[in-house]
Amino acid sequence: MRKKIVAGNWKMNKTLPEAEQLIKELLNKINTEQKVEVIIAPAFVNLPLAVELTQNSDIEVAAQNMHFEDAGAYTGEVSADMLKAIGVEQVILGHSERRAYFNETDEVLKKKAHKAYEKSMTNIFCVGEQLDDRKAGKHFDVVKSQLQKALFDLPLQAYKKIIIAYEPVWAIGTGETATPEQAQEMHAFIRETLAKKYGQDLANNVRILYGGSVKPGNAADIFSQPDVDGGLIGGASLKAGDFDAIVEAAKKL
């Protein structure tokens, strides 16, 4: 049985003092009982503090992004080696906001995915369609293309450290949420797509998260779907009580 994951993407939120307060609140609340894997992804400047505070706890730390080169004249970027040097072993790649606002293409994300594999970092790789794609009935094609172009030349063993996050772009920060049935339909499709490329065993073991306005009130219904292995949480991860409630929902499944 695949262990559920609840990952909090803090995006560009929380100053250092605010991050410290939130992490301490989470540490006081969250007890996974080893039933759920909990990850938080603060901003780059807060990562060293997050790693320090979460040592010997049930909470893991991820970065929100990284560059595909090891070093060089890339002002404002952060490398995998820099992340690993401060104890960060996980990274979110391909988030829709990176694709939309920073023009990250499938080719760029392919390079980043290869670098994550090369550096043995866990890659939380995001895929998802725009509202226009869904209205046009192209949502399956879009997600399949994103997977194929960025991940499908990686070897099978790379998927030991790949987590897929399906995030319908129309449901991110809008208050809109895919229905549990819509989430299940796409997650099953992703698993089927992986099976056709790498085999059913791999597809059965890869964890696929749902991202898109997950809240305490809808988490249990979404997470109870057979192919939904947890969530990539945005706004609700910024409130300790809400995030803990989502973790508790995952624990009960």
Q: Is 243 exposed, middle or buried (0-12, 13-18, 19+ CB in 10 A)?
A: buried
Element (H, E) at 92: strand 90-93
Bridge partners, 210 (sequence order)? 166, 231
E strand residue ranges, 121-219: 122-127, 162-166, 208-210
Determine contact, residues 124/161, Cβ cutoff 8 Å: no
167 belongs to the catalytic site = yes
CA pseudo-torsion sign 59, 225, 65, 69: positive
- Residue 205 has φ and ψ, to the nearest 5°, of -100, -20
> How far, in Å, CA of 253 to CA of 168, rounded?
23
Active-site residue, from 97, 104, 129, 167: 167
Element (H, E) at 7: strand 4-9
Determine contact, residues 49/19, Cβ cutoff 8 Å: yes
> How far, in Å, CA of 2 to CA of 186, rounded?
18
Active-site residue, from 95, 97, 139, 248: 95
> How far, in Å, CA of 163 to CA of 123, rounded?
6
Active site residues: 95, 167
